[in-house]
Amino acid sequence: MEDKKIKEFIKERYSKIATKEDTYNCSCCGDSKEDSTIKQAQKTGYTMEEIKNIPADALFGLGCGNPTALADIKTGETVLDLGSGGGIDVFLASQKVGDKGKVIGIDITPKMVETAIKNAKTGRYENVIFKQGENLPIENSTIDVIISNCVINLTPNKLKAFKEAYRVLKPNGRIIVSDIVTYGKIPLEIRKKFQAWAECIGGAQEKQEYIDTIKKAGFNNVKIISEQFFTEHDMDELLIGKILSIQIKALK
Does residue 26 surpass a pLDDT of 70?
no
Picking from 116, 119, 112, 92, the residue whose alpha carbon sits closest to that of residue 24 is 112
Rg, C-alpha atoms of the chain: 17
pLDDT of residue 34: 40
Q: pLDDT, tens digit, for every residue of 51-71?
A: 999 998 898 888 899 999 999
3-state secondary structure of 146: strand
| Domain boundaries 3-251, corresponding CATH code | 3.40.50.150
Query: Residue 225 has what pLDDT?
Result: 96
Give pLDDT, residue 43.
83
Mean pLDDT over each residue of the chain, to the nearest integer: 89
Higher-pLDDT residue of 242 and 116 is: 116
Longest dimension (CA), the chain: 49
Residue 25 has pLDDT above 70, yes or no: no
pLDDT value at position 234? 56
Q: Report the run of H or E that residue 158 belongs to, with start and end.
A: helix 158-168
> Which pLDDT value is given to residue 131?
96
State mean pLDDT over 34-42: 73
Q: What per-residue confidence (pLDDT) applies to 155? A: 93
Q: Tens digit of pLDDT for each residue in 157-178?
A: 999 999 999 999 999 999 999 9
Taking the alpha carbons at both ends of the chain, their separation in whole angstroms is 32
Q: Which residues contact 183 (CB under 8 A, 6 or more apart)?
A: 206, 207, 229, 241, 242, 243, 244
Q: pLDDT of 140-156, one tens digit each?
A: 999 999 999 999 999 99
> What is the pLDDT averaged over residues 130-148?
94
Q: What is the mean pLDDT of residues 71-84?
A: 97
pLDDT digit string, tens, across residues 193-249: 888 888 889 899 999 999 999 999 999 999 999 998 876 555 667 787 789 999 999
CB of 145 closer than 8 Å to CB of 71: yes
Pairs from 17-24 (Cβ < 8 Å, separation ≥ 24) = 17/60, 17/62, 17/112, 18/60, 18/85, 18/86, 18/109, 18/111, 18/112, 18/114, 18/115, 19/111, 19/115, 24/60, 24/61, 24/62
- Cα–Cα distance measured from residue 212 to residue 100, given in angstroms and rounded to the nearest whole number: 35
Q: What CA–CA distance (Å, rounded) separates 9 from 159?
A: 21
Q: What residue spans define the domains of the chain?
A: 3-251
Asked whether the beta carbons of 92 and 54 are under 8 A apart, the reply is: yes
Per-residue pLDDT tens over the stretch 91-104:
999 999 999 999 99
Checking if the pLDDT of 31 tops 50, the result is no
pLDDT (0 to 100) of residue 37: 80
Of 13, 200, 199, the C-alpha closest to 111 is 13
Q: Name the pTM for this structure.
A: 0.91
pLDDT at residue number 175: 98
Whether residue 33 has pLDDT greater than 50 = no
Cβ 175 vs Cβ 249: under 8 Å: yes
